[in-house]
Structure 1
Amino acid sequence: MDLDRRTLMTGGLGMGLASASGAVAQTLGSELKDLSGTPLPPETTEYVDLWPKGPTGLLKADLNEAVKTSPNPPPRRLVSGVVRPRLAVYRPQKPNGGALLVIPGGGYTYISVDNEGHNVGRVFSAQGLTVFVLYYRLPTEGWAQASDVPLMDAQRAMRLIKARAKDFHIDPTRVGVMGFSAGGHLCASLATGYGAPVYATVDAIDAEDARPHLCAPLYAVISMKPGLTHAGSRSNLIGATANEEITARYSTENHVTAQTPPAFLLHAEDDGAVPVENTLAFRAALKAAGVAVETHLYPRGGHGFGILSPAVPWSDLFLHFARQQGLYSQTNA
């Protein structure tokens, strides 16, 4: 967890669930521009619940969603206590058929929904992709099967997007996943564990294949191994004293196969929170399995830079990779 995020966590102002969308959200992000100076679309007001009757397994009846925001610009909301896992939907004016599930990070302590979520949706929807920002459950907040609840929500999200492809005007075979930091761990977990039986079938949506078309874990926590992992993410997901078997199970580099989708990797080598060796370990596993992988390492950039940092401009690189991998074509972009 980077210094900026620690500052936000300790200095933020509490807000209720209603303030996580609508007028307050518009105020927080209404003037954003992309790196070329072009104004971005407004923040979406469309949300879709993942579970028809809500998620099961809540052991803490008084859990409520909370939002903190930075007291200094640019405002960034940090969401915790998610009891209604959902997708924020960004529909482009001219959809190109491709879609992207975006998973913000936050050390499995909170979800950095602006920097690594809504901003991503606003940038890529302007380029024709339909983007879905995932609000997922956090493992330390009182859920049964705590270590698996993030993956449950990620699998369900991918299946729901594909099941409703006609409504979203997308091709269900062209849905990728992107994640940041601990959200990158969840992204890699979905890419390598899309078929893992982590929850019981709820309805017909669960018949859909949860395999992404491609994956993009960015400055990601890949491994749970001590000395390599981000200690906070490990502690929150599996516990600081997890044994070797549990550590190996949740270290995504151990589960890459030839069926793992093509990957776009990005990391700053001066990242002081998540060592760049995480990305290198995932790349090595992908290469060994014969999976296509594109890797970008920046000498500077730190951690948590999101999609709007001029110091680390990567969105066009990803779009080029996505076109090469057939997520969408130039002719219908």
Structure 2
Amino acid sequence: MNRRQFILGSGTAVLMLKFAAAQAKDQITQRETIELWGGQPPGGGGPSGDEQLTSSGALSNIARPCLQVFRPLKPNGKAVMVAAGGGYKRMEMASEAWPAATWLTDRGYTAYVLVYRLPDEGWHDGNVVALQDAQRALRIVRSREPHVTLLGFSAGGHLLGMVATQGDAQSYPPQDAVDAQPAMAEGAALIYPIITLQSPYTHTSTHKILVGPHARAQDEAQWSVQNRVTARTPPMFLVQAEDDPISDPQNTLIMAAACEHQQVAVQMYRYTTGGHGFGLGKPGTPTMQWPEHYEQWLSRLGSA
């Protein structure tokens, strides 16, 4: 694709390269970006200027959504698309997406980190822009890789949960031949995800950004992942701490129940402590165990 380019220019790129080198310098053969739209995203609008990256590695001001590609030296033929959380106000790249990407490449998986548009940054298509980006990104990955699964954290878990349960429904006008690819994955791992926006779980930033403080019940239901689960939904892997102060611990239970109702395979791990935003695990808590279970789940998917 002529939209592909090596990541070498911006401050965001430099930090990502330094992070990746420190985490897995002997395991990653290349890092590149793939722009999702090759021009103005659907609907137009959006922020101006460069991406903004905080000292803690949170990314915002996304004018050009893209995929950041991490490739292992010895690929196993499987890919994972990763989305960080941040309440749809930012993306926690340094604490979630980039560590996950290097963890995956250590094990032979090609990781595609999604940099998606944030709805409150002036996009004319409003609350649907992140979903548009995620669907488009999954189609791009599927055009390049034979087997693709999803890994999302917090609001990124909500986003990829929406994608996994969206089926092939279109959230934007087709752009080119890539959009003939089905936006479907072979499995989805959702880590401390926001699942439901319905009462009484309306306190999150995800709810505020996507449906607003005075949302109609039908809008809350439409943006609640559990309501979209069907028999075609791929296998799910769910992780949450029972003392999570951001994503109510009922979220994973609600999603697991929806999967079981539709006879969708689901594997869930809930830990007594760990809070929210623990990434690959918070030291001193049982959340450190989940990556091992996730690795086993990925391998058991067989074709994933």
* TM-score over 0.5 for the pair: yes
> How much does 1:94 deviate?
1.0
Distance, in Å, in 1 between the alignment partners of 2:167 and 2:35 is: 20
Q: Does residue 242 in structure 1 map to residue 210 in structure 2?
A: no
Per the TM alignment, residue 52 of structure 1 is displaced from its structure 2 partner at its CA by: 2.1
Please give the secondary structure, in 2, of the residue aligned with 1:79. strand
Pick aligned residue for 2:159 from 177, 180, 186: 186
Task: Pick which of 41-50 and 221-230 moved more.
Answer: 41-50
Q: Which residue of 2 aligns with 1:7?
A: none
Residue 303 in structure 1 maps to residue 294 in structure 2:
no
How far apart are 1:58 and its partner, in Å? 2.9
Q: Do residues 105 (structure 1) and 96 (structure 2) align?
A: no
Q: Distance in 1 between matches of 2:205 and 2:218?
A: 19
Hey, what's the Cα distance between the residues in 1 that align with 2:271 and 2:173?
Answer: 41
> How far apart in 1 are the matches of 2:47 and 2:75?
41
What is the letter of the counterpart of residue 140 of structure 2?
L
Offset at residue 276 of structure 1 (A): 0.9
Aligned-partner SS, 1:190? helix
User: What are the residue-to-residue correspondences of 1:143-292 with 2, within 5 Å?
Assistant: 143-165=123-145, 171=146, 174-292=147-265
**What CA distance in whole angstroms lies between the structure 2 residues aligned with 1:44 and 1:114?**
18
Give the AA of the match of 2:160: C
Counterpart secondary structure, 2:54: strand
Q: Does the residue aligned with 1:89 lie in a helix, a strand or coil?
A: strand
Equivalent position of 1:137 in the other structure: 117
CA distance in 2, matches of 1:222, 1:206: 27
Q: Please state whether the residue corresponding to 1:21 is helix, strand or coil.
A: helix
Q: Note if 1:87 corresponds to 2:67.
A: yes
Structure 1 gap segments, 5+ residues each: 1-16, 34-38, 71-76, 166-170, 329-333
Compute the displacement of 1:189 (Å). Answer: 0.2
Alpha carbons of structure 1 residues 44 and 93: separation in structure 2 relative to 1, 3 Å:
closer
Relative to the length of structure 1, the TM-score reads 0.83
4+ residue runs over 3 A deviation: 24-33, 39-45, 60-64
Distance 1:317 1:267, change over 3 A: same
Match of 1:118 in 2: 98
Partner of 2:45: 59
Q: Name 1:25's counterpart in structure 2.
A: 16
Q: What is the CA-CA distance between 1:157 and the residue it aligns to?
A: 0.6
The 2-side partners of 1:26 and 1:321 are apart by 29
Deviation at 1:61, TM superposition (A): 5.8
**2-side partners of 1:157 and 1:64: how far apart?**
21
- The share of aligned pairs that are identical, in percent, is 35
Alpha-carbon separation, structure 1, partners of 2:83 and 2:167: 15
Compared with structure 1, are the counterparts of its residues 123 and 40 closer, same or farther at alpha carbon in structure 2 (3 Å cutoff)? farther
For residue 231 of structure 1, report the CA deviation from its aligned partner: 2.1
Q: Alignment partner of 1:217: what SS?
A: strand
Contact 2:28–2:71 (CA under 8 A) maintained in structure 1: no
In structure 2, the CA distance between the partners of 1:205 and 1:29, relative to structure 1 (3 Å rule), is: closer
The structural deviation recorded for 1:40 is: 7.3
Tell me the distance in 2 between the aligned counterparts of 1:95 and 1:45.
14
Distance 1:91 1:29 in 2: 11
Deviations 1:78-127 (A, max 9, x none): 11111111111111111111110001000001011121111101001110
- Equivalent pair of 1:125/1:131 in contact (CA under 8 Å): yes
Greater relative contact order (CA < 8 Å, ≥ 6 in sequence): 1
Secondary structure at the aligned position of 1:320 is classed as: helix
Give the count of matched residue pairs. 293
1:49 equivalenced with 2:35 (yes/no): yes
Q: Which amino acid aligns with 1:321?
A: W
Residue type of the alignment partner of 1:242: A
TM value normalised by structure 2: 0.91
Q: 1:274 to 1:61 in 2, by over 3 A?
A: closer
Instruction: State the Cα RMSD in Å.
Output: 1.9
Q: What CA distance in whole angstroms lies between the structure 1 residues aligned with 2:94 and 2:170?
A: 31
How far apart, CA to CA, are the structure 1 residues paired with 2:58 and 2:86?
8
- Cα 1:143–1:97, aligned 2, differ >3 Å: closer, same or farther? same
Provide Cα deviations, 1:197-256, integer angstroms capped at 9, x if missing partner.
Answer: 210000000000111100111100001113224521111112111101111110111110
Separation in 2, partners of 1:117, 1:40: 19
> Which stretch of the first structure deviates more once superposed, 232-241 or 44-53?
44-53
Question: Is the alpha carbon distance of 1:257 and 1:124 closer, same or farther for their aligned partners in structure 2, counting shifts above 3 Å?
Answer: same
Question: How much does 1:55 deviate?
Answer: 1.0
Map Cα deviations across residues 126-163 of structure 1 (whole Å, 9 max, x no partner): 10111100000011111122111111111111100111
> CA shift at 1:64, angstroms?
4.4
